[in-house]
Amino acid sequence: VSRVAVLLPAGGSGTRMGGACKPLLDLAGETILSRCMRPFLDRADVEWLVVALPAAALEEPPAWLPADPRVRLVKGGPERMASVRLALEAVPDEADVIVVHDAARPLVTADVIDRCIAAAAAGRSVLAAVPVTDTIQEIDDGGAVVATPDRSRLRAAQTPQAFPAGVLRDAHARAALGEEIATDDAGLVSRFGGRVHVVDGSPANIKITTPVDLLLAEAILADRR
């Protein structure tokens, strides 16, 4: 059985949500962050769950944080990838699978997590992803359409993203020398020549970015009940 560490970068300020720290917002009676943590803490193979929080939230850790010895809090960085790196530093060497999950995807379900961890335990770097439902157009600087990529080849990236621990550590160690070169960990691993595969995510595993997303999340939760 793999020893799994989960990283939840929740350090951002969420300018599109009025400046609040999104993961600390309430969603149907429970914070978004707490909803992101629970399905991971439900797994016996998850031994560490590192949450990168804004400095202000760290000074006075929220009372609702699960009193689980596996949870560690660290200070987040200025960007998502910096927060991931800081969280990664808090993961012990014994971890052999590392999972990164957006702290703004509270509707992630056990089956998606399971597919990601199973693949990483088998040595693959993976991200959850879903087919793209819109036609995607590529435009130039003037807003003219220059290409319409074949939609059947496109996937919208979600999280979790899961990696054999050494692969993720190595990618971050190499990136540390330069500037920001990828927007997520799958991109980072791929950037250094690592092969990354997609596994099936879920259309309901949405990222809460705007107030409309919060409405959708509430509707999905109401529908699940």
The 3-state DSSP class for residue 217 equals: helix
Site for a second copy in 125-164 (CB under 8 A): 127, 129, 132-140, 142-145, 148-149, 151, 153-158
Instruction: Determine the residue type at 11.
Output: G
Site for a second copy in 11-70 (CB under 8 A): none
Question: Binding of a second copy at residue 210 (CB under 8 A)?
Answer: yes
Quick one: 60 or 134, whose CB is closer to a second copy? Answer: 134
Distance CA 161, CA 163 (A): 7
- Name the residue among 105, 208, 80 with its Cα closest to residue 159: 105
Question: Binding of a second copy at residue 99 (CB under 8 A)?
Answer: no
Residue 121 in contact with residue 115, Cβ under 8 Å?
Answer: no
Question: Binding of a second copy at residue 109 (CB under 8 A)?
Answer: no
Find the binder of a second copy among 32, 186, 205, 208 (CB under 8 A): 186
Quick one: 1 or 15, whose CB is closer to a second copy? Answer: 15
Question: Binding of a second copy at residue 207 (CB under 8 A)?
Answer: yes
Tell me the site size for a second copy, rule CB under 8 A: 48
Q: How many residues does the chain have?
A: 225
Distance CA 172, CA 167 (A): 9
Residue 54 in contact with residue 11, Cβ under 8 Å?
Answer: yes
Angle, helices 165-175/80-89, rounded to nearest 10 degrees: 120
Smallest gap from Cβ 147 to a second copy, in A, equals: 9
Question: Binding of a second copy at residue 212 (CB under 8 A)?
Answer: yes
Distance CA 150, CA 154 (A): 7
Binding site for a second copy (CB under 8 A): 127, 129, 132-140, 142-145, 148-149, 151, 153-158, 183-184, 186-187, 190, 195-199, 203-204, 207, 209-212, 215-216, 218-220, 222-223
